[in-house]
Structure 1
Amino acid sequence: MKYSVPVLILFLFTLSCQKQDQSTVSTNAESDKTEVPLDTLLKNQLEYIRAEDQVLRMMLPDLNKRYSRGTEEQKVFRELIAKQDSLCEIKVRKILDDHGWVSSERIGYMANQTLWLVIQHAPLETQI
Structure 2
Amino acid sequence: MNGKIYPCSVSLAMDLIGGKWKTVILYHLKEGPKRYSELLKEMQTVTEMTLSLQLKQLEKDGLVSRKVYGKKPPIRVVYSLTDFGKTFIPTLEAITAWGNQISSQKAEFITANSVNSGV
- After TM superposition, the score normalised by the length of structure 1 is 0.30
Q: Which is richer in strand?
A: 2
- After TM superposition, the score normalised by the length of structure 2 is 0.32
Higher relative contact order (CA 8 A, sep 6+): 1
Q: Which is richer in helix?
A: 1
